[in-house]
Structure 1
Amino acid sequence: MALSFFDQFLSPVLYGVSLTTLALTLPWILFPTPPSRWLNNRLLSLQSWFICRFMQQLLLPLNPGGHKWALIFCSLMVFLVSLNSLGLLPYTFTPTTQLALNMGFAVPFWLATVLMGLRNQPNTAVAHILPEATPGPLVPVLIVIETASLFIRPLALGVRLTANLTAGHLLIQLISTATFVLVPLMPGIALLTMILLFLLSLLEVAVAMIQAYVFVLLLSLYLQENL
């Protein structure tokens, strides 16, 4: 039976029960919990350093009012990095390759930033829809365009994360399939494709982290506009 390359993105099912919930719960079990001791081990120190550096870079352009979102952004960043990275392991499932899940992350956070802007500064939030000194004939067109650009933001967030991870997984599967086929036929070419596969795997590890950072960074920029 010939399987499709897209079968790897199907939600795994065991005895008729979807395992997506297990895939979403597992990353939280892998992170060590800081003990009550004064001195932590190297793993905990590295984890704390990573979180502190990330939050420092993320909250730098935000107003003090946006610092209340630090815990939410930090948790979302760590969660997305974990899901993206664990999906690169063999015989695993990457939940963030599902557009529905990514939209479930993007829409509530984007809507929260928009509602916060409408509550705190309604005039400024509505003024973004129509730039100042706009000619009269262009007013209806600009209102439609700016409103569409506002509502397309969560879709862009979800599609960006889904497309980047899906493309990387497909490339890895295509090159690995070519490597297995070329081993008995052309060992030299197979060695080159194996090196390319190794380099692509390293690139995908970087993409898994960068895409999680970009997702949270764009949310912070949306929040900055509404503070």
Structure 2
Amino acid sequence: MALNFFDQFMTPWLLGIPLIALALVLPWILFPTPTARWVNNRLLTLQGWFISQFARQLLMPVNLAGHKWALLLTSLMLFLITLNMLGLLPYTFTPTTQLSLNMGFAAPIWLATVLIGMRNQPTIALAHLLPQGTPTPLIPILIIIETISLFIRPFALGVRLTANLTAGHLLIQLIAMAAFVLSSTMPVVAILTATVLFLLTLLEVAVAMIQAYVFILLLSLYLQENV
């Protein structure tokens, strides 16, 4: 039994090697590789259909210049979904509960969208820092506020993903421990607690997919502002 509820979020080590590296490589092994055949099997067909539907839905509001990002954003979304789903299995580790990892995903892509906006349309990119029709005395204050909100975006992306997954894992652990403790003294209450645990697990499966989608959706919105 864990001595601390937050021990489950510590990176496990084996022979002095952090297993987070293995957890980051594993998702790519699970996806089947397309073949050169004219007709694929059901799994490859379903995978291709899902990827094409997601890419179309994600890039529909984005200009044509931003469609070059389809491969990057779709790959990152599949990667995040797989990491989040694998972290729900027993005796596993969820890398996306680490804020440093999520910031490593969010900050470079956010910075790339900002640099693209500054290079291609600097006037429009700078115009986002000052809403139209702002009274003259409020111009310096609004510029400072909008600049802070711009630079806080990658931090908000990382914290959102980390906080949602961490809270869900903590709730699952607390309810699982309660069901285990009550099983010997109050079996009926333990059964009800186990039912709540099952429903919460289903909710966490949905959260794992939704949070990955929201992460990529916000990145695509930042991209839309700068292309």
Same topology, TM > 0.5: yes
Counterparts in 2 of 1:2 and 1:69: CA distance versus 1, 3 Å: closer
Coordinate RMSD, CA, aligned: 1.0
Partners of 2:130 and 2:67 in 1: CA distance: 29
Aligned residues: 227
The answer to whether 1:21 aligns with 2:25 is no
- The aligned counterpart of 1:213 is 213
Partner of 2:196: 196
User: 1:118 and 1:169 mapped to 2: Cα distance?
Assistant: 40
Q: Compute the TM-score of the two structures, normalised by the length of structure 2.
A: 0.98
Percent identity, aligned pairs only? Answer: 73
Match of 1:186 in 2: 186
Unpaired runs of 5+ residues, structure 1, are none
2:71 counterpart of 1:71 = yes
Instruction: Give the Å deviation of 1:2.
Output: 6.2
Give me the whole-angstrom Cα distance separating, in 2, the residues matched to 1:53 and 1:195: 34
Q: Report if aligned partners of 2:2, 2:8 keep a CA contact under 8 Å in 1.
A: no
Residue 92 (structure 1) shift: 0.5
Does residue 118 of structure 1 match 2:123?
no
Q: Which amino acid aligns with 1:163?
A: A
Instruction: Point out the more displaced range, 36-45 or 173-182.
Output: 36-45
Provide the C-alpha distance between the structure 2 equivalents of 1:143 and 1:2, rounded to a whole number of angstroms: 48
**Partner residue, 1:167:** 167
Cα distance, 1:219 vs structure 2: 0.3
Q: The residue matched to 2:184 in structure 1 has which SS?
A: helix
Q: Deviations over 1:68-88 (max 9, x none)?
A: 000001110010001000000
Q: Deviations over 1:103-157 (max 9, x none)?
A: 0000000000000000000001111111223222111111110000000100110
Unaligned regions of 5+ residues in structure 2, if any?
Answer: none
Matched, 1:51 2:51: yes
Q: CA deviation at 1:46?
A: 1.4
CA distance in 2, matches of 1:176, 1:46: 34
TM-score of the two chains, using structure 1 as the length reference:
0.98
* Separation in 1, partners of 2:45, 2:178: 41
Residue type of the alignment partner of 2:61: P
